[in-house]
Amino acid sequence: MTAIKHSPAPSRVDGTDGALAARADGTSVRDTLTRYYSLTKPGVLYGNVLTAAAGFLLASRGQVDPWLFAALILGTTLVIASACVLNNVLDRDIDSAMDRTRKRATVTGSIGARPAVVFSVVLGVAGMAMLVAWTNWLVVVVGLGGFVVYVVLYGMLSKRLSIHGTLVGSVSGAAPILAGYVAVSGVVDAGAVLVFLAVFLWQMPEFYSIAVYRHEEYARAGVPVISVVRSMRNTKIQILAYTVAFVAATLLLPVFGYVGIVYTVVMGAVGAYWTWLGIIGLRTDDDDRWARRMFRFSLVAVLALCLMVSIGPILP
C-alpha cells in the first residue's frame, strides 16, 4: 500500500481493510455494506437465481423438496454473486468508459481490488460448499462450469477479443436454470436441454438490443459487440433470428410433454408479440427507441418463461 502524505481526507482508498477504509473516508458501515452488495450486481444476480428456481420447479412437477430447494437457491446465489464481484474487478477499465457503469465501487475506488477479490472468494467458497454438501455432482459441475465460463472465457477473453462474446456469456447465463433442473432430476434429459436452450437463446436478442442503444458506449470502451463490429442492419436481423429460435425452443417443452396447454397459449402469445417487435425493427429508423422497447419486452418474456415452467407441470 502506498503511503499518503499531507492529505487529511483521501478521496480514494485502495487498502485491504474495509473497516479502516470506511473510517478513512468518513462512510458508515451501512454505506460500506451497500457498496459490497452492489458489487454482486443484484439485478443480474436475482434474475439468474429466478431461472434456477424455475428449473427446479419444472423438474419437481409439484413435488418440491424444501431443503434441497433452499440449498440450491442459497448456494447458487453465492456462486453467482462471487462471479459477478470478480467480473467487476476485471472490468474496471471497460466500466470506467461507460456511462452506466462508471460509478461502480471498483471503478471509483471506494472498494479496492484486493478486498473485492477476497469478498468474491468468500462468497464462492461458501456457495460451492453448500452445493457440494447438499445437492448432487451435476449441480456442482454446472456451477463450476458456469463460473469459469463467465469469469474466464467470457469476462477475461471473448468479451474483449471477439464479436462472439455474447454467445460465450450466454452459456454461463443459462447455467442456473440447468442447475436447478438437474438438482431434482439428477440427469441431463430432454427437459434439461430445452430449458437451457431457451434461456441461452433468450439472452442473444436481449443483449443485442442493449448493444444497439448503447452502441456508442461500447465503441468508446473498445468492446467488440455486434453493433460495433457489424452493421446495425445485421444486428437487427440477428436479433429477429434469435427471437424466433427462442420461441421455437420454448414451444418444444409441451411437445415433449413437460407442460400443457396453458403454458403453450401463454408462451405462444409472448413469443408472437416479441417476434412482431423484432420484425418492426427491420423497418424502423429510430433504432434506439426500438431497441429499448425490445429489451424491455425481453424481461417480460423471461419472467413469463420462468413463471410458466414453474407452474406449467401442475396446470392443465
The string of pLDDT tens digits covering residues 107-161 is 998 999 999 999 999 999 999 999 999 999 999 999 999 999 999 999 999 999 9
| pLDDT tens string 182-206 | 999 999 999 999 999 999 999 999 9
Give me the pLDDT at residue 7, please.
39
Q: What is the reported pTM?
A: 0.89
Q: Which of 24-28, 87-91, 209-213, 282-286 has the lowest average pLDDT?
A: 24-28
For the chain, percent of residues with pLDDT exceeding 90: 84
Give me the pLDDT at residue 14, please.
47
Cβ count near 18 (within 10 Å)? 20
| pLDDT tens string 73-93 | 999 999 999 999 999 999 999
Q: How confident is the model at residue 18 (pLDDT cuts 50, 70, 90)?
A: very low
Give me the pLDDT at residue 23, please.
47
Q: How confident is the model at residue 165 (pLDDT cuts 50, 70, 90)?
A: very high
Q: Please determine, for residue 5, whether its predicted confidence score (pLDDT) is greater than 60.
A: no
Q: Where are the domains of the chain?
A: 27-188, 189-316
Q: Please determine, for residue 1, whether its predicted confidence score (pLDDT) is greater than 90.
A: no
Q: Please determine, for residue 316, whether its predicted confidence score (pLDDT) is greater than 90.
A: no
Give me the pLDDT at residue 27, please.
63
Comparing 173 with 109, which gets the higher pLDDT? 173
Give me the pLDDT at residue 2, please.
38
27-188 fold = Tetracycline Repressor; domain 2 (1.10.357)
Residues in the chain: 316
| pLDDT tens string 262-305 | 999 999 999 999 999 999 999 999 999 999 999 999 999 999 99
Q: Please determine, for residue 57, whether its predicted confidence score (pLDDT) is greater than 90.
A: yes
Q: How confident is the model at residue 15 (pLDDT cuts 50, 70, 90)?
A: very low
189-316 fold = Four Helix Bundle (Hemerythrin (Met), subunit A) (1.20.120)
Give me the pLDDT at residue 300, please.
98
For the chain, percent of residues with pLDDT exceeding 70: 91
**292 close to 209: Cβ distance less than 8 angstroms:** yes
